[in-house]
Chain A
Amino acid sequence: EAGVAQSPRYKIIEKRQSVAFWCNPISGHATLYWYQQILGQGPKLLIQFQNNGVVDDSQLPKDRFSAERLKGVDSTLKIQPAKLEDSAVYLCASSTRLGQYFGPGTRLLVL
């Protein structure tokens, strides 16, 4: 079974630029999550989708972050404009009732 796929793996941008991350969950997983992991901390949920509907986006900074999962499969997370404090690893996960499975993450550095 293929795992969760993410791209790109690394991204370096300057502040105020925009960036987008892509995630393809495990086939058949209806629930998809985006987490932000800042260096030295555990991951924190940004947004959770159930199929193409948003379940929880309470921690998403909506003035600059947006996410979509239009067909209930792939998802895109966008940051516009980026700030220095957005430097982090962005993790995508998908789940069944048995647990969440994580992709390799996108490491973002904002200069």
Chain B
Amino acid sequence: AQSVSQHNHHVILSEAASLELGCNYSYGGTVNLFWYVQYPGQHLQLLLKYFSGDPLVKGIKGFEAEFIKSKFSFNLRKPSVQWSDTAEYFCAVTHGSSNTGKLIFGQGTTLQVKP
């Protein structure tokens, strides 16, 4: 079955530390890749997305992600985290070129940033 795997369930960092959250997916065809963020008490928000083209995509709030097709990975990075980045992060994929299919989510990574 198609799946998305996030390697870290809970990450604790100090402010200014660098962040990398791992995401791997299992599907050999065309994929569209997403990172969503859920801040405490808020709804899921789109952080960044990859459809095609440059495999290094930049999103909001200084986040970026790199699509490595050979590794089936789409890791999320940020050079210097802030306390306000404390949230839950979800990697997700859709299949096919239309991008209106269902999102398949990973189990999420809880990021806690200590001030």
**Chain A contacts to B: CB under 8 angstroms:** 3, 31, 33, 35, 40-45, 48, 50, 56, 91, 93, 95, 97-105
Question: Interface on chain B toward A: helix, strand, loop, or mixed SS?
Answer: loop
Instruction: Establish whether residues A97 and B46, one from each chain, have CB atoms under 8 Å apart when the complex forms.
Output: no
Instruction: Establish whether residues B105 and A43, one from each chain, have CB atoms under 8 Å apart when the complex forms.
Output: yes
Cα-based distance from A56 to B96 in the complex (angstroms):
15
Query: Known interface pairs A41-B107, A42-B92, A99-B49. Does A33 touch B102 (Cβ–Cβ under 8 Å)?
Result: yes
Cα-based distance from A105 to B46 in the complex (angstroms):
15
Show 17 residue pairs from A and B whose CB-CB distance is below 8 angstroms, ordered by the A residue.
A31-B100, A40-B107, A41-B107, A41-B108, A42-B90, A43-B44, A44-B105, A50-B100, A56-B101, A91-B44, A95-B99, A97-B100, A99-B34, A100-B103, A102-B43, A102-B44, A105-B43
Q: Tell which of A3, A91, A97 touches B99, judged by Cβ atoms closer than 8 Å.
A: A97
Q: Which residue of chain A has its CB nearest to the CB of B100?
A: A31
Cα-based distance from A45 to B103 in the complex (angstroms):
7
Q: Tell which of B42, B46, B90, B104 touches A99, judged by Cβ atoms closer than 8 Å.
A: B46
A101 CB contacts on chain B under 8 angstroms: 46
Question: Interface on chain A toward B: helix, strand, loop, or mixed SS?
Answer: strand
Q: Which residue of chain A has its CB nearest to the CB of B92?
A: A42
Cα-based distance from A31 to B103 in the complex (angstroms):
13
Which of the listed residues B4, B49, B101 has the most CB atoms from chain A within 10 Å of its own CB?
B101
Q: Any chain A CB within 8 A of the CB of B98?
A: yes
Instruction: Establish whether residues B107 and A42, one from each chain, have CB atoms under 8 Å apart when the complex forms.
Output: yes
A48 CB contacts on chain B under 8 angstroms: 101-102
A95 CB contacts on chain B under 8 angstroms: 99-100
Give chain B nearest CB distance to A54 CB in angstroms: 12
